[in-house]
Amino acid sequence: NSYFFYSFMVTKLEDWREPVDTARQKVFDTVNAIGANLFRELCPQYPYLTNCVATVLESWVERHVPVMETRIEEAFKQEEDPFVSTNELSDEIVRVRAERFDRALNVVVKAAGEGSSKKKGAAADEELEAFKNHISQHLGQWYMANHGVSAAALIEDMRTVLTAYWRLSAKRL
């Protein structure tokens, strides 16, 4: 699933370039419009000053267009291959899997421990063996559901990869 995700990212990333460029332009247009109109509303008695503020603001926006374009291009470059630059994505995938395993382990241990008692000797050994069997059986089911070769396991694995990617990409933006 990691390789599917990678190939999907490579093929779909360029689909976002036009909407991102459109959004960037709309942000700059909105900054210009709000700045000029705000000053015009606050100080209608100073039309020349309003025009000067609008000109300064427009100049500021024009100076920052290349900065924003560079930053956007860097983001696209980084997203082209989320696996190569660092091991962040792989590490995050492992973290997500570990979190899910911990949750499953807690549920299984809690369910297994609900019937436990303070037995001693052979009875305690028997209870411990039953506890181990319960955990093995239920975690085995969990493992196969999350890492097996079934369609459900593949979906769960893709969900894990997407969760990890989302966590990392949200930090970058």
Sign of CA dihedral 42, 44, 49, 50: positive
pLDDT at 137 over 90: no
Helix (H, G, I), strand (E, B) or coil at 84: coil
What is the reported pTM? 0.48
Helix (H, G, I), strand (E, B) or coil at 73: helix
Closest CA to 162 of 86, 93, 79, 84: 93
Q: What is the tens place of the pLDDT at every residue in 53-95?
A: 889 989 998 999 999 999 888 888 877 765 555 567 777 777 8
